[in-house]
Chains A and B, each alone.
Chain A
Amino acid sequence: MHKYLPHTQNDINEMLEKIQASSIDDLFCSIPEALRLKKDYHVPSQLGDWELTKHMQELANQNKELLIFRGAGSYDHYTPSAVKALVSRQEFLTSYTPYQPEVAQGTLQYIFEYQSMVCELTGMDVSNASMYDGATSTAEAMFMAYAQTKKSDILVSSTMNPKIIDVIKTYARYRNINVILIPSIDGVTDQAFIKENIKDKMGVIVSNPNYFGIIEDYQNLGEIIHQEDALFILNQEGQSLALLKTPGELDADIACGDLQALGVPLSFGGAYIGYLATKQKLVRKMPGRICGITTDVDGKRAFVLTLQAREQHIRRAKANSNICSNQSLNALFVTIYLSLVGKNGFKLFASESLNGAHYLYKNLLETKKFEIVYNQPFFKEFVLKASFDVKAFDTYLIDHGILGPLHIGDNNLLFAVTEKRTQEEIDLLVEMVVNFK
């Protein structure tokens, strides 16, 4: 007997009798004898609840919780208590995809609210119900451009997070899409290169802020791209959407990126959430789920998955994508987070990240142990070149409970500061730098 298996021997006997089988083994007679498993799995034995709790706690203790000044695609932000409490309600947690909308109005409603919020964040017309993460949502945006233009080459900025570029390249390679990297000048995308090379390309993918934390100026980029009927795809990290010119204001065709910064825990990199939003004219090229409003037979307002003719369970080989799930629960994290912080808190927290990052930057430079690498505006991340052994520095910080900046080559360090870092914590990091020999 096991707590997850409710059958008594008596139940089993009665059920076997009903189905006229002499044993459970009998039910497997369609499996050829040679393929039937004759022995137990070679896996660990069962653990009692308390032993398992202890085991997991020990494993958890082997991971060091650190004071985090590292970002590069994953950020240590504040998550209000109400978020976790509400997300863990079983009606949200244990439900399935809302294919029976009459008993899934809860999921459908928050997805609708999520889509509405993503449209507000990005300034775009329409959002889907979320994607796996920011990198795959960007790759899916590339597929949209491929479907729309039927062209095979795409320009991708080399100032994007290299992990996103890797995912784009993986997706592109197997579909015979050619990725051309746009060079950078002083840490930003070389837009002259785009102008010279945009002809016959399906589109351009750039990010803001870029991998180095730099806020790039894309004011004229849309025009350059649209002159050749290519698509402008803008990858933007969640919190920066509070302050920076939106993809909509920049006339981007597709906005994509990760929303982990908006209430989703670090969790060693997953599960996160990718967003994807676009203009009305591209809605039928969009992958994934979309929720819309309709009425029921009594005329009552109701929510339902819509435009499903784009999806794999209807169109099969002709679908826009193979995606069958969304990160629904993480979309709920984001929806509740954005409800709690609201219009003003969203801006406030982004400003506090911005202020904190600049405060650290200024104080680090004053230690005289760093050189400026890029003279560019930045948001919550920035790069400085260290004059010391960065590897030893990293170990030194970890020994003191700090996850310091990421070494991105050439003795350049990528620092991140979120609204969660207090002034004392930032001062502590600076002090550690001063004391580092």
Chain B
Amino acid sequence: MTKLYDTLIFDLSRKDRIGYQYQPKHLKEIHLPAHLLRETSAELPEVSEFDVVRHYTNVSQKNFGVETGFYPLGSCTMKYNPKINDELATLNGFANIHPLQPDSTTQGLLKIYYETQEILSEISGLKAYSLNPFAGAHGELAGLMIIKAYHEKHNDLKRTKIIVPDSAHGTNPASATVCGFEVVEIKSNPDGTVNVEALKEVLSDEIAGLMLTNPNTAGIFEKDISEISKLVHQAGGLLYYDGANLNALLGRAKPGDMGFDITHINLHKTFSTPHGGGGPGSGPVGVCEKLVEFLPNPIVVKKGDAYALDLAKDSIGSLGMFYGNVSVYLRAYVYLRTLGKENLKDIGGLAVLNANYIKDSLKDLYELPIQGHCMHEFVFDGLKDKSTGVKTLDIAKRLLDYGYHAPTIYFPLIFHQSMMIEPTEVESKDTLDAFINIMRVVARESISDPEIVKNAPHSTLVRRLDEVKAVKNPILKYKDIH
């Protein structure tokens, strides 16, 4: 059934079928002036409730989730999403609360907001947090706005440039541009770490700040971070921490101690909230003491025993209608309280152990461009044996045949055949061993039967897609099909 299911909800539509039960109120029918009304109805499907349930159950079967199997997606930190998080975050006393209720009627929610801010401050070593940003990239934007507001307040208007290493996530340069900065890209060392000499060359009184993730996107800790921090600060710039890779540091080190002035944290990564097929996420932004006054509005403060929504003194402004993705940070809060100080400290260690275990178990067959211990993730530069012509893309697709999600591929851009693997701490040794075994099988197949790898996947619902055709002849809605 599932395998053959290829129906759109619109295809199930039959005139006058309904999927809801509604008791009419029989209030007086109001007729708006005709010129204000839409001329044609929205052609939504007309289906029964069971049609909908069966349809979306079948659609769901075409997806790979964390509970389906191993999801070693580098830089994405695909952890198990605990059931208790979902259950407790959707209690009626959270789900049925209007955002414009008086503070006296939302004390529980405000308390959670406040405590989550405090815990994030402690973990990252920064002074204060706002949970308003809706996603990691939104947190970056907030952080950059804070950088700009800070320099403006000091009348330091020449600072129009943000430094971004070439190994950075694409959101870094994009956020800087959206915030009205000019991006200065610097070349990294071969292991993706910042080239301190290259940094020195671009530092000037026009630099507003530097964006870094640490460990970097190749899974390497910036060992020169204290010097980098000193140089940027001496030049009058601020240091921004992209929290995408924070998982590795849990219990081991704090970005604030390294000299970072601002950070965002992807709650959906490190703090185990569902990625939801691409959202909603949550990207709280944290700052050091001198930047607290710039946090996005509103902020949550504690006055005596009560919690209240307040406005920051020199706030960058509002970033959304209300107070961020509440349903997401509620889940993160439950996760933080489940682990507590006794267990949070083990996460970084076990995540790093798992990554090193996979790396060392496969480095005889896969090209390892950076030697030595990695942090929570690492990069292979394709197969060691390049003679077969099998590319990273092919290996990724072949893994799908064996029931594994593919690693992140062709990122970071500093290697041609990047394959970035991040197992996280939730995967057992048994799972890692099974994955290692399949990676070895695929490497052997690439030699014995390269065509089977190059033409993979074979057993998925659909096989390799013609992405060029999708761009050349865009079919972006149901009505474009017919």
**Which one of B133-141, B196-204, B284-292 contacts A?**
B133-141
With A62-B111, A294-B465 as known contacts, state yes or no: A243 contacts B37, CB within 8 Å.
yes
Q: Are A101 and B352 in contact (CB under 8 A)?
A: no
With A40-B345, A340-B19 as known contacts, state yes or no: A328 contacts B279, CB within 8 Å.
yes
A89 to B457 alpha-carbon distance, docked (Å): 25
Give the shortest distance, in Å, between B305 (CB) and chain A (any CB): 12
With A34-B226, A49-B84, A103-B460 as known contacts, state yes or no: A167 contacts B321, CB within 8 Å.
yes
Q: Are B177 and A317 in contact (CB under 8 A)?
A: yes
Chain B CB count within 10 A is highest, among A15, A45, A98, A300, for A15
Contact partner of A134 (CB less than 8 A), chosen from B321, B341, B352, is B321
**Is A375 positioned at the interface, with any CB of B under 8 Å from its CB?**
no
A248 to B469 alpha-carbon distance, docked (Å): 28
Give the shortest distance, in Å, between B36 (CB) and chain A (any CB): 5
Contact partner of A269 (CB less than 8 A), chosen from B25, B272, B321, B359, is B321
**Is A5 positioned at the interface, with any CB of B under 8 Å from its CB?**
yes
Give 1 or 0 for each of A68-97: 1 = CB within 8 Å of chain B CB: 101011101000101001101111111111
Q: Are A266 and B98 in contact (CB under 8 A)?
A: yes
Contact partner of B84 (CB less than 8 A), chosen from A52, A173, A359, is A52
**Is B33 positioned at the interface, with any CB of A under 8 Å from its CB?**
yes
Nearest A-chain residue to B345, judged by Cβ: A40
A240 to B175 alpha-carbon distance, docked (Å): 33
A104 to B60 alpha-carbon distance, docked (Å): 9
Report chain B residues within 8 Å CB of A351.
29-30
Give 1 or 0 for each of A5-48: 1 = CB within 8 Å of chain B CB: 11100011011101111001111111110111100111111110
A345 to B35 alpha-carbon distance, docked (Å): 22
Report chain A residues within 8 Å CB of B464.
102, 296-297
**Is B225 positioned at the interface, with any CB of A under 8 Å from its CB?**
yes
Contact partner of A352 (CB less than 8 A), chosen from B25, B33, B252, B353, is B25
Report chain A residues within 8 Å CB of B109.
59, 63, 268
**Is A324 positioned at the interface, with any CB of B under 8 Å from its CB?**
yes
A74 to B25 alpha-carbon distance, docked (Å): 23
With A24-B353, A297-B464, A328-B279 as known contacts, state yes or no: A164 contacts B321, CB within 8 Å.
yes
**Which one of B325-333, B381-389, B437-445 contacts A?**
B325-333
Q: Are B49 and A57 in contact (CB under 8 A)?
A: no
Q: Are B462 and A398 in contact (CB under 8 A)?
A: no
**Is A205 positioned at the interface, with any CB of B under 8 Å from its CB?**
no
Contact partner of B64 (CB less than 8 A), chosen from A76, A91, A297, is A91
Q: Are B254 and A345 in contact (CB under 8 A)?
A: no
Q: Are B258 and A344 in contact (CB under 8 A)?
A: no
Give 1 or 0 for each of B425-457: 1 = CB within 8 Å of chain A CB: 111110000000000000000000000000101
A35 to B90 alpha-carbon distance, docked (Å): 39
With A27-B356, A98-B278 as known contacts, state yes or no: A37 contacts B251, CB within 8 Å.
yes
With A106-B61, A265-B96 as known contacts, state yes or no: A290 contacts B476, CB within 8 Å.
yes
**A and B contact pairs by CB, cutoff 8 A, 20 listed:** A15-B357, A19-B360, A35-B258, A62-B93, A86-B56, A89-B56, A92-B60, A105-B63, A126-B477, A166-B297, A269-B99, A270-B134, A271-B327, A291-B476, A296-B465, A322-B141, A342-B20, A351-B30, A403-B98, A423-B27
Closest 8 CB pairs of A and B: A269-B322, A60-B93, A46-B340, A269-B99, A170-B317, A62-B108, A106-B63, A329-B276
Q: Are A330 and B405 in contact (CB under 8 A)?
A: no
Contact partner of A109 (CB less than 8 A), chosen from B59, B134, B317, B455, is B59
Q: Are A93 and B274 in contact (CB under 8 A)?
A: yes
With A267-B327, A328-B279, A348-B22 as known contacts, state yes or no: A342 contacts B47, CB within 8 Å.
yes
Interface bin, chain B: 35 or more
> CB within 8 Å of B: which of A165-220?
166-167, 169-170, 173-176, 215, 217, 219
Q: Are B145 and A170 in contact (CB under 8 A)?
A: yes
Chain A residues with a Cβ closer than 8 Å to the other chain, count: 198
Give 1 or 0 for each of B65-97: 1 = CB within 8 Å of chain A CB: 111100101001011111010101011111111
A186 to B147 alpha-carbon distance, docked (Å): 41
Give the shortest distance, in Å, between A375 (CB) and chain B (any CB): 13
Chain B CB count within 10 A is highest, among A45, A65, A167, A348, for A65
Give the shortest distance, in Å, between A396 (CB) and chain B (any CB): 12
Q: Are B101 and A66 in contact (CB under 8 A)?
A: yes
Q: Are B43 and A120 in contact (CB under 8 A)?
A: yes
Report chain A residues within 8 Å CB of B411.
313
A176 to B334 alpha-carbon distance, docked (Å): 40
A242 to B324 alpha-carbon distance, docked (Å): 27
Give 1 or 0 for each of A300-344: 1 = CB within 8 Å of chain B CB: 111010110101111111110111111111101001101111111
A50 to B180 alpha-carbon distance, docked (Å): 49
Q: Are B174 and A317 in contact (CB under 8 A)?
A: yes
Beyond A163-B322, A215-B36, 15 additional pairs, beta carbon < 8 A: A11-B428, A24-B353, A29-B373, A41-B345, A47-B340, A59-B109, A64-B97, A92-B65, A94-B66, A98-B277, A106-B61, A270-B280, A304-B467, A312-B173, A345-B22
Give 1 or 0 for each of B399-430: 1 = CB within 8 Å of chain A CB: 01000011010010000000000000111110
**Is B1 positioned at the interface, with any CB of A under 8 Å from its CB?**
no
With A6-B426, A102-B463 as known contacts, state yes or no: A47 contacts B122, CB within 8 Å.
no
Report chain B residues within 8 Å CB of A304.
465, 467, 470
Report chain B residues within 8 Å CB of A246.
38
**Which one of A110-118, A223-231, A364-372, A429-437 contacts B?**
A110-118
Report chain B residues within 8 Å CB of A62.
93, 106-108, 111
A16 to B357 alpha-carbon distance, docked (Å): 8
A351 to B25 alpha-carbon distance, docked (Å): 11
Q: Are A46 and B100 in contact (CB under 8 A)?
A: no
Q: Are B36 and A217 in contact (CB under 8 A)?
A: yes
Q: Are B60 and A45 in contact (CB under 8 A)?
A: no
Chain A CB count within 10 A is highest, among B37, B175, B429, B470, for B470
Q: Are A2 and B471 in contact (CB under 8 A)?
A: no
Report chain B residues within 8 Å CB of A169.
317
Give the shortest distance, in Å, between B344 (CB) and chain A (any CB): 6
With A15-B429, A110-B56 as known contacts, state yes or no: A127 contacts B465, CB within 8 Å.
no
Report chain B residues within 8 Å CB of A309.
471
Q: Are B319 and A136 in contact (CB under 8 A)?
A: yes
A217 to B108 alpha-carbon distance, docked (Å): 42
Q: Are B36 and A47 in contact (CB under 8 A)?
A: no
Q: Are A30 and B223 in contact (CB under 8 A)?
A: yes
Q: Are A63 and B71 in contact (CB under 8 A)?
A: no
Give the shortest distance, in Å, between A322 (CB) and chain B (any CB): 4
A319 to B373 alpha-carbon distance, docked (Å): 34
Q: Are A115 and B477 in contact (CB under 8 A)?
A: yes
Nearest A-chain residue to B94, judged by Cβ: A60
A89 to B324 alpha-carbon distance, docked (Å): 24
A57 to B330 alpha-carbon distance, docked (Å): 12
